[in-house]
Homo-oligomer: A and B are copies of this chain.
Amino acid sequence: MPFSVVGQSVPRVDGEEKVTGRTQFVADQEMRGLLHARLFLSPYAHARIRRIPAAAARAVPGVVAVLTADDLPFGDAVPNVRGRCLLARGETRFAGDPVAVVVAETEEAAADGLERLASGAEFDPLPALVDPVAAADPAAPLVQPGLAGKSAEASLHAAVKVEEEANDQRPSNVTGRVRFVRGDIERGLRESALVVGRTFRTSVVHQAYIEPHATTAAFDPSSRRLTVWTATQGLFYSRENVAQVLGLPESSVRIIPMAVGGGFGAKILLLEPLAGALAMLLGRPVRVVLTRSDEFRTATPAPQSTLEVRLGARRDGTLVAIQAQLLFDAGALPGAPLNIAALMLGGNYQAPHLDIQGREILTHKAPIGAYRAPGAPQAAFALESVVDDLARGLGLDPIEFRLRNASQGGDPMPSGEPWPRIGLRESLAAIQEDPVWRHRERDGRGVGVAAGGWLGGLEPASACIRLNTDGGAQVIVGSIDISGTATGLAQIAAEMLGLPVSRVRLVGADSDSAPAAGMSGGSKITYSVGSAVVKAAEDARRQLLALAARRLEASEADLEITGGVVGVRGVPARTIAVADLVKLTSGFGAGNPPIFGVASEAIVQRAPAFGAHVARIHLDADSGRVRVVDYAVAQDVGRAINPAAVRGQIHGGVAQGVGWALLERMLYDEQGSVATGTFLDYALPRATDVPPIRINLVEVPSERGPYGAKGVGEPPVVPVAAAIANAIMDASGARVEELPIVPEVVVAALRRAPSV
């Protein structure tokens, strides 16, 4: 079936207002009686709070209140989700732990009050556990002694259900374990003609969104209703948590989702409960905004990891053994993406023998959060580096080696579940044809390849489609658009309704009126919400055709909708405009019900999306500086609903991947203080760091997604660091084992390397 709207590149509906600066963010809103809050963050990773000079700060003109944990009659005794932590009570657990909040009439007064707090606060520093290996020692003091149960975040950030091994009975800082075993790993290693093992380290990476976290809350004491304006990726998740922390019914909390100025997984829940608590206590609207320095100290970056990977293969290139030990430093609260990392590490390629173990360790650092494909860039960096070494050691073409072992639909994942239909092989085959790869010999060394993907999230969703009396349609969903999904969802509906996409508008409603939807995480909005939109559009179409059939005295089966007009197939004169049909459903005494298509879906069939990347780099051997000079991506997207938007996601993923690969890391000193608290210390890729990117959209349709689409938000970031690392190997024979690959890492690797 040829599509009329799906597959067309359509500009993002929010594009112009964003690039012209007209988008209103939370911090732009004006509101009667608004108060401004600033957080006082612990300067110590671990300390007893001795004295907070609240009275002195309150004396600052314009300061309305200075609150500590004792002033907040809300919340969990021991919160296990960062966003549910209001203020530290008694002890601080990371440098950046919020200890008090200053609320003032103006931002300036709040800053002055904060200064007064900072200069007079007294802490008793305690030993801080900064190194996860030390923290994992059973004798180590506990970072979170009272923590009961598991973090809810693990299941949010990973796209898989967490089925970790039972913890030791004894409390320790090891708060999560995962193990996948298949066959006999020792036998697999014995049977291998070549075994390569390496240990990789990745750094804490910050999501580095341009808009800092900002939340405004207002409370009406008579109706006991709380309204929260916030840049969140998760409307209903945010509502549920705010309601629970503040002891309100969910229906009394209205989350109004504001434009998200960069999320990448970090804008799910952070300030919402605290802002709500302040609004309830103070009886006025309160806005909490983080500074950039606050962001680096108190928000939730991606975890550092240590990944030991050992692979064994037969001489013919058949992979037979995958062994890995993963360690994720979760910071002060659990929630590391253990499972997904283990699944990707052991699942992308098939081997009869497999043993993957993972541990999550708590330390006195900021609790980690989700960042675009959590755990997968780390896993891909480790896996794809060793895969490359193995191919090289066996004298095999790296893509051929991957193709020989790449998983396909029906093959088992480490968990034993079968892979659904995936496009890993198709992506590898496609990237083989890219000129950079084909001409790599001729053009000289410095070309690396890597593959990787993402399982894709799942979450139930509803969608509504309402037809308007002018013949246009509105699609109403509860999902947040952080990546252009609004445009794609409108296309999906337009296709089904026979309308031009310009006549269909997507409405992301607030939590009061939106149909249910999961958070924008796990690359699942187009897949899960989009499936509900297809069904809702079918429902609306059916209602429309039933009404048209009565008016045109024709059978529904003979009707078609084209360009907003319903006609009888083969009878050009028998038509009625959609607008005229909808008018029959509106107005005093109208006899036809409104055309209102609805669907609720809960897909449990995943649609993992794989891609293969090729990087060409230039390496300056003297300085160790690496520059990515050319780049190509073959990405399976199932079906590109809006190719321009899909390409945009790939561009963004590669750009962020270059950051992961070459630039980005948060550094902590031995006491656990953040040494990289500004964008002067924390290096983000700039335009000149991002290479030209050729994109080949591979379409291996998903079984359940709308028109075969798969989620494409996260996958493109996954293989980038590995492709660059493999290009460095290709250029120099040096194997880098650490992210980011800053010059000193390259220089050290070059020193270790045999000369090529």
Residues of chain A touching chain B, judged by Cβ–Cβ distance below 8 Å, are 13-14, 16-17, 20, 22, 28-32, 155-156, 158-161, 220-223, 236, 240, 243, 249-252, 457-462, 464, 466, 468-470, 472-474, 476, 503-505, 507, 509-510, 512-516, 518, 522, 543, 585-596, 598, 600-602, 604
Q: Are B16 and A586 in contact (CB under 8 A)?
A: no
B-chain residues with CB within 8 Å of residue A160 when the two chains form the complex: 589
Number of copies: 2
A152's nearest neighbour on chain B, judged by CB, is B587
- Bound complex: CA A161 to CA B592 (Å): 15
Contacts A236-B586, A251-B474 known; 9 new A-B pairs at CB < 8 A: A17-B220, A457-B589, A460-B593, A462-B596, A466-B515, A466-B516, A474-B512, A591-B604, A595-B600
- Bound complex: CA A223 to CA B14 (Å): 7
- Bound complex: CA A642 to CA B33 (Å): 36
Most chain B beta carbons < 10 A, residue from A466, A509, A591: A466
Q: Are A591 and B587 in contact (CB under 8 A)?
A: no
If A223-B16, A251-B474, A472-B251 touch, does A32 touch B32 (CB 8 Å cutoff)? no
Q: Are A30 and B32 in contact (CB under 8 A)?
A: yes
Q: Are B515 and A594 in contact (CB under 8 A)?
A: yes
Which 4 A-B pairs rank lowest in CB-CB distance, beginning with the nearest? A516-B594, A509-B513, A16-B222, A593-B600
Nearest-CB distance from A363 to chain B (Å)? Answer: 26
Q: Find A460's partner among B222, B507, B510, B594 (CB 8 Å cutoff).
A: B594
B-chain residues with CB within 8 Å of residue A29 when the two chains form the complex: 32
- Bound complex: CA A589 to CA B604 (Å): 6
Nearest-CB distance from A224 to chain B (Å)? Answer: 10
B-chain residues with CB within 8 Å of residue A505 when the two chains form the complex: 249, 251-252
**Could you name 29 residue pairs across A and B whose Cβ atoms are closer than 8 Å?**
A14-B223, A16-B223, A20-B222, A22-B222, A155-B589, A156-B588, A160-B589, A243-B470, A250-B470, A250-B472, A251-B504, A252-B505, A460-B585, A460-B592, A460-B593, A461-B594, A474-B513, A509-B509, A509-B512, A509-B513, A513-B513, A515-B594, A516-B585, A518-B586, A518-B588, A543-B600, A591-B604, A592-B602, A596-B598
Q: Find A462's partner among B22, B159, B468, B594 (CB 8 Å cutoff).
A: B594
Q: Are A459 and B588 in contact (CB under 8 A)?
A: yes
Q: Find A161's partner among B470, B515, B589 (CB 8 Å cutoff).
A: B589
- Bound complex: CA A508 to CA B20 (Å): 33
